[in-house]
Structure formats: C-alpha cells, structure tokens
C-alpha cells in the first residue's frame, strides 16, 4: 500500500476577523483544503513563539497565524505583535533546519472568506511541496 502524504496544517485565527472569515467561507460553501485545523484565539496577539514551535514539534507540516488587517486589530496592536513573533519564529525554524516557508502570517478581514480559503490552500500546497515536517519524523522515531 502506497503511503500518500497529506499535510497537517495548523491555523491560529483571531475570533474577530480570520475566524469569522473561515465561518463565512463555510456559509458561502467555498472549497478549501480540509487539512487545516483552526485554533481560535480572541486575538493573534495571544500567540507566542512557543505555541508556533510546539505546533511543529507536535507534527504540523505548516502553521500560519491569521489576524485582522493592519490597523484593524480589536486589541489595537495584537496583530502587529503576532507578525513580529512570526518573523522571529521563522528565523528560529531556519536555525533548526526547518524551512521558514512552513510558517506564515496573514491579515484577513471578517468579510474576506475567499482570502481565508486562499491562505488555507496556499499553506497546504507549500507543505505538500516541502514534504513531511522532518521534526515529526524524529518524534515518531524516538517513540
Ligand atoms: Fe484580530 Fe487582534 S483582534 S488580530
């Protein structure tokens, strides 16, 4: 039996914008990759670098943070802080030998369901091209 790789993608979405866009995408019956697992947060400012790295350690092949558009965060600067943390985490991934493209930040307004679907598809495709997260393999081997 051939083992087909299906990427696991984790999306940290803020309640006010990206999560609402995901909800709207469902209502609009937009199709997007079913590989995405959403972690809902009140604001992306709540995301910490350790959450992003832990998602990879726990087996995610790609991770993204999706918050409000710049200047529209309901907690003023949460999305800007998240953007900075994603940039730092990307550098850490590179130092760990993992492709930084596996991690991304998106700004998605509540009404932009097509952009939510596009981001989900883009991150799934990136993971598919890059292949399985090698850290995941190490974890499986160690068990
Ligand atoms: Fe959406 Fe802050 S409330 S990113």
What confidence tens digit (pLDDT) does each residue in 61-116 have? 999 999 999 999 999 999 999 999 999 999 999 999 999 999 999 999 999 999 99
Q: What is the CATH classification number for the domain harbouring 98?
A: 3.40.50
> Is 3 part of any domain?
no
> Is 4 part of any domain?
no
Enclosing domain of residue 89: 9-142
Query: pLDDT class for 139, splitting at 50, 70, 90?
Result: low
pLDDT digits (tens, 9 = 90+) for 44-75: 999 999 999 999 999 999 999 999 999 999 99
C-beta 79 within 6 A of ligand 1: yes
> Is 96 part of any domain?
yes
Give the pLDDT mean for 6-18: 97
Structure tokens at 31: 């199709």
Q: pTM of this prediction?
A: 0.93
Query: pLDDT class for 136, splitting at 50, 70, 90?
Result: confident
pLDDT at 2 over 60: yes
pLDDT at 138 over 60: no
Query: Residue 4's pLDDT is what?
Result: 85
Task: Please identify, by atom number, the ligand 1 atom nearest to the C-alpha of residue 67.
Answer: 4
For residue 38, how far is its CA from the centre of ligand 1 (angstroms)? 15
- The sheet with strand 36-41 has its strands ordered as 36-41, 9-14, 62-67, 103-107
Query: Residue 1's pLDDT is what?
Result: 62
> Residue by residue, what is the 3-state secondary structure of the chain?
CCCCCCCCEEEEEECCCHHHHHHHHHHCCCCCCCCEEEEEECCHHHCCHHHHHHHHHCCCCEEEEEECCCCCCCCCCHHHHHHHHHHHHHHHHHHCCCCHHHEEEEECCCCCHHHHHHHHHHHHHHHHHHCCCHHHHHHHHHC
In the chain, how many domains are there?
A: 1
- Ligand 1 mutation pick, 12, 14, 106, max ligand atoms within 8 A of CB: 14
pLDDT digits (tens, 9 = 90+) for 24-40: 999 999 999 999 999 99
> Is 114 part of any domain?
yes
């Amino acid at each position: 039996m051939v083992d087909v790789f299906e990427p696991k993608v984790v999306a940290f979405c803020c309640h006010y914008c990206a999560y609402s866009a995901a909800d709207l995408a469902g209502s609009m019956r937009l199709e997007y990759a079913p590989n995405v697992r959403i972690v809902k947060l009140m604001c992306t400012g709540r995301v910490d670098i350790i959450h992003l790295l832990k998602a990879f350690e726990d087996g995610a092949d790609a991770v993204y943070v999706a918050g409000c558009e710049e200047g529209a965060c309901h907690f003023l600067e949460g999305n800007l802080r998240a953007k900075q943390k994603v940039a730092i985490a990307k550098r850490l991934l590179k130092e760990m030998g993992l492709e930084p493209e596996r991690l991304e930040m998106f700004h998605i307004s509540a009404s932009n369901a097509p952009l939510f679907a596009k981001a989900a598809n883009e991150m799934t495709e990136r993971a598919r091209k890059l292949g399985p997260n090698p850290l995941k393999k190490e974890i499986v081997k160690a068990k």
